[in-house]
Amino acid sequence: MQSTEIAPPRTSVSLTAVSKQYGRGGAAVNALRDVTIEFPRGTFTAVMGASGSGKSTLMHCAAGLDRPTSGTVHLAGTDLTGLREAALTKLRRERVGFVFQAFNLLPALTVMQNVTLPLRLASRPIDKDWARQILATVGLDGMGRRRPAQLSGGQQQRVAIARALVTRPELLVADEPTGALDSRTGKEVLALLRRSVDQSGQTVLMVTHDPMAASYADQVVFLADGRLVGSMPQADPGRIAAAMATLEA
């Protein structure tokens, strides 16, 4: 099933002419229209846009959670378009780490069990030292035996990041990771994502509508009405907010 096509070496994920349509006929909604974009390896990209702009759909397509109606998606050199659900799942668990806004953890499992779960699901050896090291990196040293309910919201997000990183994924996808946090813990989580890019060369793709969060990224891309409408390199929150305002006007 795997394509032999070789993607450009420095690119982690690339979308080529991707469109996504939900529903049919008159009730059809075009969530993405002919989007072409690359996310270079070792960079932090923020995808911004108003509600309904298609930013979540873009993320789902890039991470192999959803299939585009037309166009192709390459993840680490593999064409996702032709893969079946089982193959996609396998690819996801090996190449992609996920962090969602909330409800990231299985409440019945301890922190350590949650972090190592992707390894277990992939039937890979569970390297406890590596998991402990990651937990230390996210600032949760020694909390491995706790359960999610015993942690604060910020701590839970950091466990989610640790879990996303444990498989050394090609791509880390974060969907509004600070959406449910206060600004101080939100900043800690964002700094953590930033560090993973700077220190380990992680590729991060983050969907957000918060200019503050987007200011941690190397590149900010803007979506409106399913189209790519602009991008800017790393900028401060004020400029990002201004750009957003121009787009929405």
Partner 1 sequence: MFRIALATMRNRWTGFIGAFVGTALAVAMVVCWGILLDSAARSPVRPHRYAATPVVVAGNQTLNVHYGQGESSSALLPERVRVSSALVARIQRLPEVARVVPDISFPVSVNGHQATAHNWAGHLVAGQPPRAGEVVLGTSIAGRSAIGGTIAVRGATGVSQLKVTGITNGSGVFVPDQQASTMAGVPGKLDAIGVFPKPGVNIDRLAHAVKAVVGNATVLSGDARGRAEFPDLVQAKSDLSAIAGSIGGVAVMVAIFVVAGTLSVSVQQRGREIALLRAVAATPRQIRRMVAGEGLLVAVVAALAGCLPGWLLASIVHNALVHKGIVPAGLRLEVGWIPFVVAGGSAVLVVQIAGIAAGRRASKIRPTAALAESTVQPRLIGVFRLLLGLGALAGAVALLSVSLSTQGDDAAGASAGVVMILMVAVGLLGPLVAWVGSTLAGVPLRRISRIGGFLAAVHAKARSRRLASALTPVALTVSLAFITVFLQATVTHAQAKQSSDRLVADRVVTAGAPGVPTAAVNRLNQLSGVDSAVGLLPTQIEYGHDLNPYDAQVATGGRLDRVLSLNGAVSTNTVAISTDLARTAHVHIGQRLTFRLGDGTPVDPKIAGIYANPLGFGDVLLPWSLAAGHVDNPAAASVLVRVAHGAKPNLRAAYPGLQVADRAAYQHQQDRDQALNTWLNYLLLGVIVGYTAVAVANTLVMTTTERRREFALLRLIGATSRQVLRMMRWEAALIALLGITIGTGIGYVTLVGFSRALGPGTTPYVPPLSFAVLAVGAAALAVTATLVPARRAMRHAPIEAVGIRE
- Which residues are near partner 1 by CB under 8 A? 60, 65-66, 85-86, 89-90, 92-94, 98, 100, 102-109, 113, 117-118, 120-123, 147-149, 151, 153, 156, 163, 167, 180
Closest contact distance (angstroms) between CB of 104 and partner 1 is 7
Phi, psi of 187 (to 5 degrees): -65, -40
What dihedral do alpha carbons 167, 172, 178, 181 form, nearest 10°?
0
Residue (of 164, 226, 238, 236) closest to 196 by Cα position: 164
Complex with partner 1: residue 91 or 243, whichever CB lies closer: 91
Closest contact distance (angstroms) between CB of 63 and partner 1 is 9
Closest contact distance (angstroms) between CB of 121 and partner 1 is 5
Residue (of 158, 41, 170) closest to 94 by Cα position: 170
Complex with partner 1: residue 15 or 181, whichever CB lies closer: 181
End-to-end CA distance of the chain: 45
Give the helix ranges, DSSP H, for the chain.
55-62, 85-95, 111-121, 128-137, 153-165, 183-200, 211-214, 237-248
* Rounded distance between C-alpha atoms, residue 247 and residue 232, angstroms: 13
Closest contact distance (angstroms) between CB of 124 and partner 1 is 10
Closest contact distance (angstroms) between CB of 54 and partner 1 is 14
Complex with partner 1: residue 60 or 74, whichever CB lies closer: 60
Complex with partner 1: residue 102 or 247, whichever CB lies closer: 102
- In the block, which residue shows the tokens 């960079």? 43
Complex with partner 1: residue 98 or 216, whichever CB lies closer: 98
Complex with partner 1: residue 26 or 107, whichever CB lies closer: 107
Closest contact distance (angstroms) between CB of 75 and partner 1 is 14
Amino acid letter, 88:
L
Amino acid letter, 24:
R
Indicate the SS3 state at residue 20: strand
